[in-house]
Amino acid sequence: MFADFLTRLVRPDPEPLAETDARLALSALLVRVARSDGHYDSDERQMIHQIVAQRYKLDQAAATTLTGEAELLESEAPDTVRFTRAIKDAVPYEERLGVIEALWQVVMADGQRDPEEDALLRLSASLLGVTDQDSNAARLRVTRT
């Protein structure tokens, strides 16, 4: 279903993603982080739904569709590097901080930091070019609210 999308992500010199593709890549990365501990529960799914609805100003039906497409894409995609490269190429640094904050929201959706989710988030932040200090600051903003 996403063969063309995945092919564009793995090109040696990919073009920046269109906004809808960047949304899909970010949403799939959120799903990947949520699934990384082997438990993808309703709290995490609801948090992803809420994030995409707010971030992209989507109604409930559109957010549900995007979340479902992201779940399918995440299950078909071979690695995290492709998502992060696409997002890094499509999103300025300041907005990538919002991506990291959204990832932390998903990690903390069930109230605990799972080691697998934590490790994948750290890797994702690094691949997105976000500093450890900025990622930690994003985590603190999320856990304090």
Report pLDDT digits (tens) over 105-118.
998 888 878 888 88
Question: How many CA atoms within 13 Å lie on the side-chain side of 83?
Answer: 30
Task: State the virtual CA torsion across 12, 8, 73, 94 in degrees, nearest 10.
Answer: 70
Helix, strand, or coil here: 134? helix
DSSP 58: -
Query: What's the CA gap between 80 and 85, in Å, rounded?
Result: 9
Boundaries of every domain in the chain: 18-144
Closest CA to 125 of 109, 103, 95, 94: 103
Report pLDDT digits (tens) over 42-66.
989 999 999 999 999 999 999 999 9
Give this prediction's pTM.
0.85
Hey, which CATH number is domain 18-144, 2.30.40.10, 1.10.3680.10, 3.90.226.10, 3.40.50.970? 1.10.3680.10
